[in-house]
Amino acid sequence: MFKRLPVPFIFILAAGFVLGSLMVLETVIPYLYWGELEEFVWHRSALPHFINYMFWPFLVPWIYVVSSRYQIGKGASMSDRLATVFFSLLIPFAHEFFTTLIYFSLLASLNIFYFQPDTWELIQAAFPGVFIGRIVEFWIIYGLFAAFDYYKKYKDKQAELGRIEAQLNRTKLEVLKMQLQPHFLFNALNTISSLMDIDVKKAQQVTARLGDLLRGILEHDSRVFVTLEEELGYVRTYLEIEHVRFEDRLSYRFEIEEGISGHQVPLLIVQTLVENAIKHGVAMVSRPVTILVKAFREGSVLVVQVKDDGKGCDAEQVDVFSKGIVLQNTRGRLKEQYKGQASMKVDCQPGKGFEVILRIPKQPLL
């Protein structure tokens, strides 16, 4: 039964000893202060306190059993409440009974005091007062356990919520991967198929790069977060494949500040923005378009910018584009993973392209 206690029994015993000693000190100090220590009757003033507090630890496991087994809070049954009230009387009574027995036995064994005919009457007279004291002590200990139990349930619930949230994020990531797969695969396979007729070596290179990318993202990477360096590695491979498809119509540039490669970012967060820029910025325009991927640090925040110089949009269209699936997903992921500490800004001007700026704190707040 002791094993079930939330704290080791030895600590409870030590707490009883400390409290008992403090009570003894409290009774001794006035005598010390007035220099009347010789008048201090230790077995009358100090010993009962000490026995009282040293005996509680042996009843604490029972109180813990009562607090765990019977509920008294909102929604508790009447039988549970009655059982708790019953034990809140029984345990203090048992405490008083045994400590009285121990007290008088000790006094007798030390030849200090013997049970007299009128002692029983003295005990009866003192009983109501001390019994109420024991009941109060019972509820204090019970309250400590209830508080601990509440705290433990709160922590368990938090941990459970964390697990559910992490699972949700992993599921969303899987959905994201599945969204990436078909569209990109169609185009990449089409590129390879077309290359087979005119440049077999290049077709082999693209196949290898596609294999690298899919192996990395779909097979090996079940993480929710990766370093910026790993994420940009995926983006580079993706752009290399798309460059073969669009040739001169697509060029790209990376401007990455030194020393930020280890910053954690959500997996595929930059890749999806680049894919979006290709879909709306490059594929929809005949002239050559450049995609710029820029990353730098502002204090402890990582700023990532994905910009294209495609046909852009007017002020009214910014809202419409911002509500596209990719940008909405990105905004949602940042909100969940960084609890509002991360942000996404969309800027778009006619003829000047489309720009998305992410601000990502150092640590996710899952």
Partner 1 sequence: MRTIKTIVVDDEVLGRSRVKKLLEEIDPVQLIGEGRNGDEAIELIIAYRPDLVFLDVEMPDRNGFQVLERIPESERPFIIFVTAHDRFALKAFDVQAVDFLHKP
CB of 248 to partner 1, least distance (A): 9
14-22, 228-236, 277-285, 348-356 -> range binding partner 1 (CB under 8 A): 277-285
**Among 48-56, 101-109, 246-254, 345-353, the segment contacting partner 1 (CB under 8 A):** 246-254
The token pair that represents 253 in the structure block: 């540039």
Fill in the amino acid letter for 28.
Answer: V
Q: Could you say whether residue 313 binds partner 1 (CB under 8 A)?
A: no
Among 38, 39, 118, 197, the residue binding partner 1 under the rule CB under 8 A is 197
Q: What is the 3-state secondary structure (H, E, C) of 71-112?
A: CCCCCCCHHHHHHHHHHHHHHHHHHHHHHHHHHHHHHHHCCC
Binding segment (CB under 8 A) for partner 1, from list 22-30, 46-54, 252-260, 281-289:
281-289
Structure tokens at 163: 């697990």
Minimum distance between the CB of residue 296 and partner 1, rounded to whole angstroms?
Answer: 32
- For partner 1, which residue of 11, 86, 139, 186 counts as binding (CB under 8 A)? 186
Specify the stretch interacting with partner 1 by CB under 8 A; choose among 46-54, 181-189, 219-227, 292-300: 181-189
- Contact window for partner 1 (CB under 8 A) among 38-46, 74-82, 184-192, 326-334: 184-192
Q: Which tokens hold the place of 254? A: 């990376």
Count of residues touching partner 1 (by CB under 8 A): 20
Write out the two tokens for 293: 């991927």
Which part of the chain contacts partner 1 (CB under 8 A), choosing from 34-42, 89-97, 117-125, 188-196? 188-196
Residue 62: count of CB within 10 angstroms of its CB: 16
Q: Tell me the residue type at 108.
A: A
Which residue from 351, 256, 350, 342 is spatially nearest to 306, judged by alpha carbons? 256
Instruction: Please give the single-letter amino acid code of residue 128.
Output: P
**Cα(127)–Cα(135) distance, integer angstroms:** 12
Does residue 181 bind partner 1 (CB under 8 A)? no
Q: Is 201 a binder of partner 1 (CB under 8 A)? A: no
Q: Which is nearer to partner 1, 101 or 284 (CB)?
A: 284
Do residues 147 and 184 touch, judged by C-beta distance below 8 A?
A: no
Q: Toward partner 1, which CB reaches closer, 66 or 313?
A: 313
Positions in 216-245 near partner 1 (CB under 8 A)? 244-245
Residues facing residue 349 across a β-bridge: 353
Q: Closer to partner 1 by CB, 81 or 279: give it.
A: 279
Query: Could you tell me the smallest distance in angstroms from the CB atom of residue 195 to partner 1?
Result: 6
Examine residue 29 and tell whether it contacts partner 1 (CB under 8 A): no
One-letter amino acid at 299 equals: G
Phi/psi region, residue 201 (left: phi>0; alpha: psi -120 to 50; beta: rest), is alpha
Q: Residue 29 contacts by C-beta under 8 Å, 6 or more apart in sequence?
A: none
In the complex with partner 1, which residue's Cβ is closer, 105 or 181? 181
What is the closest distance, in whole angstroms, from the C-beta atom of residue 216 to partner 1 in the complex? 23
Distance (Å, rounded) from C-alpha 27 to C-alpha 40?
A: 9
Listed residue (335, 310, 336) closest to 321, CA to CA: 310
Contact residues for partner 1, defined by CB under 8 A: 186-187, 189-195, 197-198, 244-247, 249, 283-286
